């Protein structure tokens, strides 16, 4: 199976032994060995994939690396975090996805408007539908973040509230709803993203970054 290793906070190495890894287009910075690259797409050839491509205008184009050797990935100086997925589904914003491999089944899921969970609030005004990415199975996912990403545990007794623009992804059996802080909204104005939060309840982990997009 492909081996994921962080070279530093901002660079990922994936070691391949006659295997394949999928990564964000343009993220490969170096490689060693006998590795061939080709264009790919995040969600295969299904109906959802076609709809997703139409909406996102090729925003989900990926590059496949196949062969034996090591491939090094980085993107715009963003921080890299390796997330283990163990027989569950990882929901992730597409612009936060760096790399994964064929052990995980990629798909799409309609979450709301304009960018999945982080775009639900903005989408209320635009009405533009979008999909979020799902990765299901057992394997690793490399994600990108502005600053080190952290995982916040969610339990039935302890919900987590997240600024929509700081959200990266989540795993587990979680439900999400939009909540509004009317008192804060009074001071900062209705257009501010901080007057809205996404409330996660259930059992799982929510990944956030130390920045608002």
For 195, which DSSP code? G
Residue 62 pLDDT = 87
Tell me the C-alpha distance between 86 and 83, whole Å. 10
CB atoms within 10 A of CB 40: 18
Of 78, 84, 56, 93, nearest in space to 8 by CA: 78
To which CATH superfamily is domain 3-208 assigned? Mitochondrial biogenesis AIM24 (3.60.160.10)
Tell me the C-alpha distance between 120 and 108, whole Å. 16
Residue with tokens 């170096």: 30
Of 82, 68, 92, 89, nearest in space to 15 by CA: 68
For 155, which DSSP code? B
Confidence of residue 95 (pLDDT cuts 50, 70, 90): confident
Question: Which residues pair with residue 21 across a beta bridge?
Answer: 65, 101
Q: Is the pLDDT of residue 33 over 90?
A: yes
Residue 116 pLDDT = 47
Average of pLDDT values for 15-40? 95
* Percent of all residues in the chain with a pLDDT value above 70, rounded to a whole number: 72
Write out the H or E segment, with its range, that includes residue 70. Answer: strand 61-73
Confidence of residue 8 (pLDDT cuts 50, 70, 90): very high
Tell me the C-alpha distance between 169 and 158, whole Å. 18
CA 210 to chain centre: 15
Average of pLDDT values for 175-187? 66
């Amino acid at each position: 199976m492909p081996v994921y290793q962080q070279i530093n906070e901002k660079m990922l190495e994936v070691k391949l032994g006659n295997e394949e890894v999928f990564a964000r287009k343009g993220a490969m910075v170096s490689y060693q060995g006998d590795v061939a690259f080709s264009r790919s797409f995040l969600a295969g050839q299904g109906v959802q994939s076609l709809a997703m491509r139409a909406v996102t205008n090729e925003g989900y184009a990926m590059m496949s690396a196949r062969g034996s050797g090591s491939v090094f990935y980085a993107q715009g100086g963003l921080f890299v975090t390796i997330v283990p997925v163990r027989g569950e589904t990882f929901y992730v914003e597409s612009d936060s996805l760096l790399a994964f491999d064929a052990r995980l089944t990629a798909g799409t899921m309609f979450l709301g408007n304009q960018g999945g969970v982080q775009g639900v609030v903005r989408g209320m005004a635009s009405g533009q539908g979008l999909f979020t990415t799902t990765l299901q199975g057992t394997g690793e996912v490399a994600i990108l973040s502005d600053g080190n990403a952290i995982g916040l545990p969610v339990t039935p007794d302890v919900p987590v509230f997240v600024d929509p623009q700081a959200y990266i992804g989540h795993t587990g059996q979680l439900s999400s709803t939009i909540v509004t802080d009317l008192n804060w909204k009074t001071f900062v104005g209705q257009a501010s993203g901080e007057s809205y939060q996404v409330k996660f309840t259930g059992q799982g982990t929510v990944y956030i970054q130390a920045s608002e997009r």
